[in-house]
Amino acid sequence: MADREALVRLRNIHKSFGHVEVLSGIDLDVAAGEVVCLIGASGSGKSTLLRCVNHLERPDRGRVYVGDHLIGYEERADGRLHELSPRRINAQRTDIGMVFQHFNLFPHLTVLENVIEAPMRVRRLDRATATATARDLLDRVGMAHKEDAYPRTLSGGQQQRVAIARGLAMRPKLMLFDEPTSALDPELVGEVLDVMRDLARSGMTMIVVTHEMAFAREVAGRIAFMSGGEIVEIGTPAEVLGNPQHERTRAFLSKVL
Ligand code: ADP
Ligand code: MG
């Protein structure tokens, strides 16, 4: 990480819901091409942190940079931050693909139409250009043979692979994954992790919330353990999984490993 430039920089991110502070000052840099896995118990703030990265949640304090963009805000001459218009936030989000636990495909669109929708609407690509790119991406996730199928006719693993292709269709610099295999039957988890592994090997920058410890061990450059709204511990898989320094990390790992 040290000699690669950070693509993602999170600085002192705070977020509360009502009186409950869910993120208590998160700092995290992710290098271009790096994969960081976020692990931690349910309720520790992993999804909220991921959603802050693309401004689906508005941090109460702190800054998110992706490349040159300060996400969600512009800094005015007086040094204050002003929230950007929804249109400008959406423009920033084109750099950031997100894949959720529930696949969120458009049910009334075919596989191919799901993948070309955003490039045509947002990037204003013509149908032929968008379709050519979409077919490449569907091929990459092993779903080219299903381009005319509707989501409901696909298995969960197939739907999630289409969702990944759809996320890639905007040519993002960063991919966020929030428990992408948690809703899948066990026998379908592997095919989705295989696609994510290939994506990581291709050099995509990824932040992945996951409970799949074998995947994290193999694919993550670093693993961050979250508890109580903080990153308690971060390091290589060997460090965090093999030699955890904090009692909270050890307690969590003893339940999941
Ligand atoms: P994780 O993904 O690690 O399970 P979350 O980020 O989803 O954790 O949630 C952290 C805490 O914030 C939980 O206590 C959750 O109930 C709360 N929370 C998350 N989103 C909201 C929301 N929109 N409104 C109120 N509380 C929320
Ligand atoms: Mg979550």
How high does pLDDT run on average in the chain? 96
Does residue 6 fall inside a structural domain? no
**What are the backbone angles phi and psi of residue 174, rounded to the nearest 5°?**
-140, 140
Asked whether the predicted pLDDT for residue 2 surpasses 50, the reply is no
- pLDDT at residue 218 in the model: 97
Does residue 121 fall inside a structural domain? yes
**Three-class secondary structure of residue 125 per DSSP:** coil
Question: 110 CA to middle of ligand 1, Å?
Answer: 32
Does residue 113 fall inside a structural domain? yes
Does residue 118 fall inside a structural domain? yes
Does residue 207 fall inside a structural domain? no
Spatial distance between the Cα atoms of 239 and 232, rounded to a whole number of angstroms: 13
**CA 175: distance to chain centroid?**
5
- pLDDT at residue 257 in the model: 85
Pocket test for ligand 1, best of 13, 16, 17, 210 (most atoms within 8 A of CB): 17
Residue having the nearest C-alpha atom to atom 13 of ligand 1: 43
Residues 127-153: what's their mean pLDDT? 98
Pocket test for ligand 1, best of 13, 20, 22, 102 (most atoms within 8 A of CB): 22
Question: 60 CA to middle of ligand 1, Å?
Answer: 15
Residue having the nearest C-alpha atom to atom 23 of ligand 1: 17
Does residue 27 fall inside a structural domain? no
pLDDT in tens, 71-125: 999 999 998 999 999 999 999 999 999 999 998 899 999 999 999 999 999 999 9
When divided into structural domains, the chain yields a total of 1
Neighbours of ion ligand 2 (CB under 5 A): 47
Where in the sequence is the domain holding 132, given as residue range(s)?
Answer: 99-170
pLDDT in tens, 192-234: 999 999 999 999 999 999 999 999 999 999 999 999 999 999 9
Radius of gyration of the chain (CA): 18
- How many other C-beta atoms lie within 10 A of the C-beta of residue 2? 4
Taking the model in full, what pTM does it have?
A: 0.96
Which residues have CB under 6 Å of ligand 1? 17, 22, 40, 42-48
- pLDDT at residue 4 in the model: 66
Does residue 210 fall inside a structural domain? no
pLDDT cut 70: percent of the chain above it: 98
**Which ligand 1 atom lies nearest to the CA of residue 40?**
3
pLDDT in tens, 142-178: 999 999 999 999 999 999 999 999 999 999 999 999 9
- pLDDT at residue 79 in the model: 87
- pLDDT at residue 131 in the model: 98
Question: 138 CA to middle of ligand 1, Å?
Answer: 33
Question: 22 CA to middle of ligand 1, Å?
Answer: 7
Q: Which runs of E-coded beta strand occur in 18-105?
A: 20-31, 35-39, 61-66, 69-70, 73-75, 81-83, 96-99
Asked whether the predicted pLDDT for residue 1 surpasses 90, the reply is no
Does residue 32 fall inside a structural domain? no
pLDDT in tens, 48-67: 999 999 999 999 999 999 99
Nearest ligand to the CA atom of 39: 1
Cβ pair 82, 76 in contact under 8 A: yes
